Amino acid sequence: MTLTACGSTEDAFENDGFVADDVVPAEVDLADPAANELMIPPLLEPAQDGVARFDLSLGESSHDFGSGVPAETISYNNQSILGPTLLWRSGSDVEISVTNDLDEGTTAHWHGADVPAEDDGGPHSRIGPGQTWVADFEVIQSAATLWYHPHMMGTSAEQVFHGAAGMIIVEDDNPAAAGLPSTYGVDDIPVILQDREFTADGQLSFEIDNDDDGDQNPDLTVNGTIDPYTTVPAGPVRLRLLNGSQARVYELSVDNGMMVKIASDGGYLPSPVELETITMGPGDRAEIIVDTSTGPVALLDDDFGRVLQLRPDISLPTAEFPPNQLAGIEVIDAEEIDSDRTFVMDEVGNGWGINGDQMDMGRIDETVRFGDTERWTITVEDGIHTFHVHQTQFQILSINGEPPPPEHAGWEDTVLVTEDREVVIAARFDGYTSPDIPYMFHCHILDHEDLGMMGQFQVLDGP
């Protein structure tokens, strides 16, 4: 991997050819101050040496989303909602124990992590009520924003909706990223986007929807906060965006012009990419840099209007804007492809399926030879979907036959696929074999996943 720092993207923010008004949805009155301080989940930062140990326990809790009425939620480690952010260092050994204090089963899946199948926390790794499950593995990937959430067959949507999710930050020693904003909660902000629905008396109202775009909820919460603001330095600010929603796709922008995307699902892009808008399907992550040096900045969504208000405080120290090169990415080329597969996402029975089948935990759908590079073509007959693959990060080879735009030229583990958007991806299956427990591929619209739009693959040593 070659990493060089040269120049900076600071100029991108001085570009005044772009009119911010273009992206401000009509219903947002940006003059209105945001109502609630953004909840920042605590960061669990292990000691530098030895095995990094984390303890998580999932249990019942209650949380005030900002309306003044505590709602019943579930959360990790007795937070009111969500879980702590886990800091993993690339190359280190991690051990995570997960205790289930609910009265129903759960699992803990590390979304985007390249880990052995028995540590992956998929539907086969059920943690019964009162039980503890331990995952231990080496962090073999580069810096990235990942997340964790339950992956129980049939109840993932409900558990995530009620608050079971958390962020994971993988850190490495990439020198190109050393100057970037990285003070957690200060200039490096977790932004967990989740839409929710409430009853008239302020309780969460969950529903699973077999509609072609899943269940769209009317209220936006960010880290469990409605209409949030947070105080940041006056300068570059990194937002770690995570779409942890049941089904919603966001169309994000900032009210002062451009934002710069520096990382996709699997880590840094080769170079920062200036964007007016960014589309995020369920399960997607993106790291962006915004500039608060000239005043408050609002992150906006096409449907919801203001997502988050950033209020600069000039007394806080500022970090650097990103350099022009962030990471060397070894591009997967056609020569490397050992085999092809096709995945058709469509309605099956009363729910959803892939290649005509609904999820069956007793059936292995695909067997991949360890060490192979595969090309997967994903098409949609009906609906809006995001295709997610466990264990590996992939590269997008094409979207409707065209090479992906630069903001999708890095590593991804989740990609939006619709009737009008055929996607071809390539992945190297050289991390782990999985002779005992399979890995999953599925739609990350959680309604669809729970309604059967999931399959299982094994990675096996081949002849």
Q: Does 445 bind Cu ion (CB under 5 A)?
A: yes
Q: What would the two tokens of residue 411 be?
A: 């590593």
Residue 202: C-alpha distances to residues 68, 116, 198 (Å): 9, 41, 5
Q: Are 122 and 437 in contact (CB under 8 A)?
A: yes
Asked whether the beta carbons of 368 and 390 are under 8 A apart, the reply is no
Q: Is 380 in the site for ligand C2O (CB under 6 A)?
A: no
33, exposed or middle or buried, with CB in 10 Å at 0-12, 13-18, 19+?
A: exposed
Q: Looking at 89, 124, 151, 238, which residue binds ligand C2O (CB under 6 A)?
A: 151
Rounded to whole angstroms, the Cα distance separating 167 from 165 reads 7
Residue 385 binding: pick among Cu ion, ligand C2O, none (C-beta 5-8 Å cut-off by kind): Cu ion
Told to check if 388 binds ligand C2O by CB under 6 A, we report yes
Q: Please identify, using beta-carbon distances, which residue of 110 and 229 lies nearer to ligand C2O.
A: 110
Could you give the CA distance from residue 358 to residue 347 in angstroms, rounded to a whole number? 9
Determine, following the binding rule CB under 6 A, whether residue 109 of this chain makes contact with ligand C2O: yes
The span from the CA of 400 to the CA of 406, in Å, is 15
Among 63, 89, 111, 196, binds ligand C2O (CB under 6 A): 111
Is residue 175 within 8 Å of 90, Cβ to Cβ? no
Q: Work out whether 444 is an interface residue with Cu ion (CB under 5 A).
A: no
* 261 binds ligand C2O per the rule CB under 6 A: no
CB of 110: closest distance to ligand C2O in angstroms?
9
Shortest Cβ distance from residue 335 to ligand C2O (Å)? Answer: 30
Selection from Cu ion, ligand C2O, none that 283 binds (CB < 5 to 8 A by kind) is: ligand C2O
Q: Answer yes or no whether residue 416 interacts with ligand C2O by CB under 6 A.
A: no
Between residue 92 and residue 131, which ones bind Cu ion under the rule CB under 5 A?
111
Using left for φ > 0, alpha for ψ between -120 and 50, and beta otherwise, residue 123 falls in alpha
* Number of residues near ligand C2O (by CB under 6 A): 10
| Contacted by 266, from Cu ion, ligand C2O, none: CB < 5 to 8 Å by type | none
**Is residue 89 involved in binding ligand C2O (CB under 6 A)?**
no
167 binds Cu ion (CB under 5 A): no
Between 297 and 445, CB nearer to ligand C2O:
445
- Per-residue binding string, Cu ion, 385-424, x by CB under 5 A, is x----x----------------------------------
Closest distance between ligand C2O and the C-beta of residue 111, in Å?
3
The answer to whether residue 448 forms part of the interface with Cu ion (CB under 5 A) is yes
How far apart (Å, rounded) are the C-alpha atoms in residues 427 and 438? Answer: 17
Question: Which two tokens mark 313?
Answer: 């405080």
Pairing of strands 423-428, 373-380: antiparallel
Q: How far is the CB of 359 from Cu ion (least distance, A)?
A: 12
Q: Which of 5, 462, 8 is nearest to 235 (CA)?
A: 8
> What letter would DSSP give residue 462?
-
Which range of residues in 83-91, 261-269, 331-339, 440-448 is near ligand C2O by CB under 6 A? 440-448
Binding of ligand C2O by 63 (CB under 6 A): no
What's the CA gap between 322 and 140, in Å, rounded? 24
Give the CB-side neighbour count of residue 96, counting CA atoms within 13 A.
31
Which of ligand C2O, Cu ion, none binds 448 (CB below 5-8 Å, type-dependent)?
A: Cu ion
Quote the longest CA-to-CA distance of the chain: 65
225: CB partners within 8 A, 6+ apart: 36, 37, 38, 39, 65, 66
Contact footprint for Cu ion (CB under 5 A): 111, 385, 390, 443, 445, 448
Q: Which residues bind ligand C2O (CB under 6 A)?
A: 109, 111, 149, 151, 283, 388, 390, 440, 442, 444
